Amino acid sequence: MSYDNKLIAGRIKEISARAAEAALRAGRDPGDVRLMAVTKTVSPDAIEVAILAGQTLFGENYVNEARGKISLLASRHPMVSWHLIGHLQTNKAGPAVGLFDCIETLDSIKLASVLDSKARASGRRLSVFIQVNIGEDVAKFGVPPGRLDEFLKGLAAFPHLAVSGLMTITPWTDDPEDARPWFRALRELRDKVSEEAGVFIKELSMGMSRDFETAIEEGATIVRVGSAIFGPRYRLKI
Ligand SMILES: *Cc1c(COP(=O)(O)O)cnc(C)c1O
């Protein structure tokens, strides 16, 4: 194994251990938290190193970037799951349904309608998370918390979509503690709408490299970690 390969494998191990400790601190079962490796700008070779180190869940931001990587790696590693975590435009919904196991960024009824018909055409039920703009940040995508109830009701019209989670990107903070109220708010919102809708929405995708432990303490079931595994992205963009 090369130095870089050992580094990636070692970081996955270390982050998994820290994630498990955070779960235990909060009285949660570490088995209820999954680490997603976020691989935007990361090469297929580096992704494969992560897979061989035991990593099974990956997140990509862009359909075009993901296409080549997933088609290359999926045939060799069929047990790996791929989630789309970047904003999705309706004109990319077809290829996205073909590539991803789950779309975490559903944020409009129009997109739901297109995804539903693409999922129907490919004979499957597509797992989706609703992206919630928990910080009500004008620069971010997502359903405002106050509209989630109504949005969920609207999704009842789409039988080929399985709503299995909520996802959020919290406002930037230096201190992970500052993100805690947003994480807590998303969990409480999930519990509230689940109770009202009478269906439990299980997954909470929240927390990144700088604050995944706080997110787990507040109930995250998926944490999306990129740079803490693969290194800073700007280095790879040149
Ligand atoms: C890039 C990205 C991440 C990972 O960010 P890091 O700070 O590198 O861990 C997580 N979620 C989304 C939506 C992203 O775009």
Burial 178-202 (b: 16+ CB within 10 A, else e): ebbebbbbbbebbeebeeebeeebe
Q: How far is the CA of 118 from the centre of ligand 1 (A)?
A: 27
Helix (H) / strand (E) containing 218: none
Distance of CA 40 to the CA centre of its chain: 13
Whole-number pLDDT of residue 1: 55
Whole-number pLDDT of residue 139: 83
Cα 12 from Cα 35, distance rounded (Å): 9
Please tell me the CATH superfamily of domain 5-230, with its number: Alanine racemase (3.20.20.10)
Asked if residue 128 lies in contact with residue 103, where contact means CB atoms within 8 angstroms, the answer is yes
Distance of CA 198 to the CA centre of its chain: 24
Q: So where are the chain's domains?
A: 5-230
Pocket test for ligand 1, best of 57, 141, 208, 210 (most atoms within 8 A of CB): 208
10-residue block means of pLDDT along the chain (238 residues)?
82 98 98 98 95 97 97 96 98 97 98 98 97 91 96 96 97 92 98 89 97 98 97 61
Cα 181 from Cα 185, distance rounded (Å): 6
Nearest to 2 by CA among 37, 35, 46: 46
Nearest to 166 by CA among 127, 137, 120: 127
Atom number of ligand 1 nearest to Cα 225: 9
Cα 103 from Cα 120, distance rounded (Å): 15
Whole-number pLDDT of residue 172: 86
Whole-number pLDDT of residue 238: 36
Cα 32 from Cα 51, distance rounded (Å): 20
Q: How far is the CA of 136 from the centre of ligand 1 (A)?
A: 19
Q: What share of the chain is helix, strand, coil (3-state, %, to 5)?
A: 50, 15, 35
Whole-number pLDDT of residue 229: 96
Whole-number pLDDT of residue 166: 98
If DSSP codes are grouped into helix, strand and coil, which group holds residue 26? coil
Asked if residue 200 lies in contact with residue 209, where contact means CB atoms within 8 angstroms, the answer is no
Cα 163 from Cα 168, distance rounded (Å): 15
Atom number of ligand 1 nearest to Cα 233: 8
Residue closest via CA to ligand 1's atom 11 equals 224
Asked if residue 206 lies in contact with residue 168, where contact means CB atoms within 8 angstroms, the answer is yes
Nearest to 120 by CA among 91, 63, 163, 159: 159
N- to C-terminal Cα separation, the chain: 25
Asked if residue 209 lies in contact with residue 12, where contact means CB atoms within 8 angstroms, the answer is no
Structure-block tokens of residue 13? 């191990």
